[in-house]
Structure 1
Amino acid sequence: MSLFMLLLADDPTEYTDLSPAELQEIIARYSAWSQQMAASGRLQGGHKLTDEGGRVLRREGDAVVVRDGPYAELREIVSGYFLIEASDYADAEAVARSCPHAQSRGSITIRAIEFTGDS
């Protein structure tokens, strides 16, 4: 088995009009899915990320510049991640399709983990 990261992205403003009960129902779906994945031995980790977007570090000339994110022109931010075990990309895609996020308007980016050196 290999490790894959599922990067969940969405527009955080999509959730601002939901009632507390609707938000709790969404949380319950993700919780049930992650418990099922953990019970099957596939889930290796995962967390929701804050909605504020974080920071971006980038070299500009001789300096490393830090900027706030997300920017006004961006509609989606990475809102969370899951680290899963899968045999290959097709298997990882099947797991991602079962994730509640696949039923939302957001996206799931699937990336294989490459172990290097002491990893």
Structure 2
Amino acid sequence: MQYLLMLYADESGWGRMSPAEQQAGMAAYTAYTAALSKAGALVGSNRLQDSDTATTVRLVDGKPLVQDGPYAEAREQIGGYYLIEAPDLDAALAWAARCPGAGHGTIEVRPVWEK
């Protein structure tokens, strides 16, 4: 079964880190991604641009209403994701706990509807 691991964090935190801390953070994510790949669990992943680049769309009276900015104001923003293959929720949660983002933010784990 596939699970989406959504990584939430305070996106301003990266800019407050020293170059050495940023390099260590990138190395941690590189190692995590490699472990997922080696285990055959990685389906896809990507980092997202900051929330101030977001655009939201909703229908109002049948017409699209397009607005700049994220859908909800929050202290933490979604900064990236991993789409993984795992045998069950417990395995997906174990992968989420290993994600470097769990140490400085929140990892939301959500099953993907099967076709």
TM-score scaled by length of structure 2: 0.90
User: What SS does the aligned partner of 1:50 have?
Assistant: coil
State the 1:73 CA deviation. 3.5
4+ residue runs over 4 A deviation:
none
- State the percentage of identical aligned residues: 37
State the 1:19 CA deviation. 1.4
Give me the whole-angstrom Cα distance separating, in 2, the residues matched to 1:108 and 1:72: 17
- Structure 1 residue 101 corresponds to structure 2 residue 90: no
State the 1:53 CA deviation. 4.4
State the 1:10 CA deviation. 1.1
Of 38-47 and 54-63, the range deviating more from structure 2: 54-63
Q: Which residue of 2 aligns with 1:79?
A: 79
State the 1:71 CA deviation. 7.1
Give me the whole-angstrom Cα distance separating, in 1, the residues matched to 2:66 and 2:75: 20
Aligned residue pairs, count: 114
Amino acid of the structure 1 residue aligned with 2:113: E
Q: Which residue of 2 aligns with 1:92?
A: 92
Q: Superposed, which structure 2 residues align to 1:20-99 within 5 Å? A: 20-51=19-50, 52-70=52-70, 73-99=73-99
TM-score scaled by length of structure 1: 0.87
Supply the RMSD in Å over aligned alpha carbons: 1.6
Q: Which residue of 1 aligns with 2:3?
A: 4
User: What SS does the aligned partner of 1:65 have?
Assistant: strand
State the 1:27 CA deviation. 0.7
What runs of 5+ residues in structure 1 fail to find an aligned partner?
none
Give me the whole-angstrom Cα distance separating, in 2, the residues matched to 1:44 and 1:103: 23
State the 1:15 CA deviation. 2.0
State the 1:50 CA deviation. 0.6
